[in-house]
Chains A and B, each alone.
Chain A
Amino acid sequence: MNKILSALLAGVIFGIGITLSGMVDPNKVVNFLDVTGNWDPSLMFVLGGAVITTGVAYRFIFAQDKPLFDEDFHLPTLLKVDSSLLLGSALFGVGWGLIGYCPGPAVASIGFRPEEPLIVVVSMLAGLLLYKATSKSQ
């Protein structure tokens, strides 16, 4: 129960943060990526604020033996840069630039402005399942 409540709390703060940050506006995201046009550097402040806060907090957190409600920290086990990482990230970037949504803002927007985000999230889930299906068959 603790794990569910703490995830819910983290989610609520994430939802408020992503909305306040402006990232839920796909125009703002596209303008951030449009460096030769009407460039809006705001998203650098979102990423900067998030990375500095998390970076400082992680130093303290990883000095602990384990998280409060679990036996271990669940960190990615893959360490090598491989072709899947590069190709997958490149594809993600293309999709991000095309529609102005990455997964967080798309999910967050469902509750207050569902038209576009709902289509995006359902399509995202389809893309995710498509990858799972194709990567298993190899």
Chain B
Amino acid sequence: MENFTPYTSLAGGILLGISASILMYLNGRVAGISGIVSGILNNPAASEKAWRAAFVVGIIGGASVYAYFFPVNIEPREHVTTALLIVGGITVGFGTAMGGGCTSGHGVCGISRLSLRSITATMTFLIAGLVTVYVVKQVVGA
């Protein structure tokens, strides 16, 4: 537990909650990243593409400005190759499209509405993630 950061993580989580609340209160939309990004590609309406793109631009901008003032230190990982990033990225994209959401849509917004689908989805991807990391670390030994 050497890298445990309860305070900043809690504060960051509260900001995510404020963001999700603003998007619902003002626009009536779920702050689910996979769904919002998917709509930029798949929703034919220009007005749909516009707010979704603005949200994504906001995320990248907000993160960049924050990281400029408070640099984020991330240890390089040796076993994570480009091939693994591609396979993992495709699996994440395919899985969130098939399951109708990711950590933000199901995990935050869905659970906050007490949606049975979102609670089930969150339990499922958490367990799948735990098992995957266990297999990678303990069985493969990476």
Contact = CB atoms under 8 A, between A and B. Distances in A.
B86 A11 contact: no
A127 B87 CA distance: 9
Of A7, A35, A52, most buried by chain B (CB within 10 Å of CB) is A7
Nearest to A81: B120
Interface string A50-85: 111111011001001011111011111011110011
Contacts, number: 478
A17 B63 CA distance: 8
Contacts of A42: 3-6, 9
Contacts of B70: 19-20
A88 B95 contact: yes
Contacts of A72: 28
Interface in B103-142: 103-104, 106-113, 115-117, 120-122, 124-134, 136-138
A103 B34 contact: yes
Main secondary structure of the interface of A (DSSP, over half): helix
B13 A68 contact: no
Nearest to B38: A128
Nearest to B80: A99
A94 B137 contact: no
A89 B75 CA distance: 28
B36 to A, nearest CB: 9
Contact of B13 (A17, A58, A79): A17
Interface of B: 1-6, 8-31, 33-34, 37-38, 41-42, 47, 50-52, 54-68, 70, 72, 74-75, 77, 80, 82, 84-100, 102-104, 106-113, 115-117, 120-122, 124-134, 136-138
7 contacts: A13-B22, A16-B15, A49-B16, A73-B28, A79-B115, A108-B62, A112-B72
Given A10-B58, A11-B19, A112-B67, 7 more contacts: A3-B50, A38-B2, A47-B108, A51-B13, A53-B18, A93-B128, A110-B60
